[in-house]
Amino acid sequence: MRRAPVGTNEWNGQATATGGNHHHIYEQQNEEMIDDLKGKVGALKSLTIDIGHEVQSQNKYLSEMDSDFGRTGGFLGQTMSRLGDLAKLRIKPTMFCYLILFSFLVFLVLWYVIRFR
């Protein structure tokens, strides 16, 4: 918004007798806009702080999940290694089928318990 200099007529640049009155109105408008801007800056600051806290908590959760997945991966690797060692042994094929069936049932029961608790 373009404003005329204080004490001049907006259209032809001539001084007016009410220039002080315009100055007071402009100052009042400026003060209102400054107060409005302060409120908006305060709201943005509060929002930014809240976002920062949320990011910190999400980073904490992600690091916990990373360590949990690492432990689970290690556990699964050890289990697969042991299962491979077991497969190398000369056992009856029926025992191996029973082992696979038992493992499947254990996972099925765990899934059922976790899913429908």
Distance CA(93)–CA(54), nearest Å, equals 55
What pLDDT, on a 0 to 100 scale, did the predictor assign at position 11? 47
Question: What pLDDT tens digit does each residue of the chain (117 aa) get?
Answer: 445 555 555 544 544 555 568 889 999 999 999 999 999 999 999 999 999 999 999 999 999 999 999 898 888 989 888 888 877 877 777 887 888 899 999 999 999 999 887
What pLDDT, on a 0 to 100 scale, did the predictor assign at position 117? 77
Q: Is the dihedral of CA 76, 78, 81, 87 positive or negative?
A: negative
What pLDDT, on a 0 to 100 scale, did the predictor assign at position 6? 55
What pLDDT, on a 0 to 100 scale, did the predictor assign at position 99? 85
Is 23 in contact with 6 (CB distance < 8 Å)?
Answer: yes
CA distances (Å), origin 61, targets 1, 48, 52, 73, 96: 49, 20, 14, 18, 40
Q: Is the dihedral of CA 94, 98, 103, 108 positive or negative?
A: positive
What pLDDT, on a 0 to 100 scale, did the predictor assign at position 53? 96
- Residue in the block written with tokens 């059922």: 112
The whole-model pTM stands at 0.46
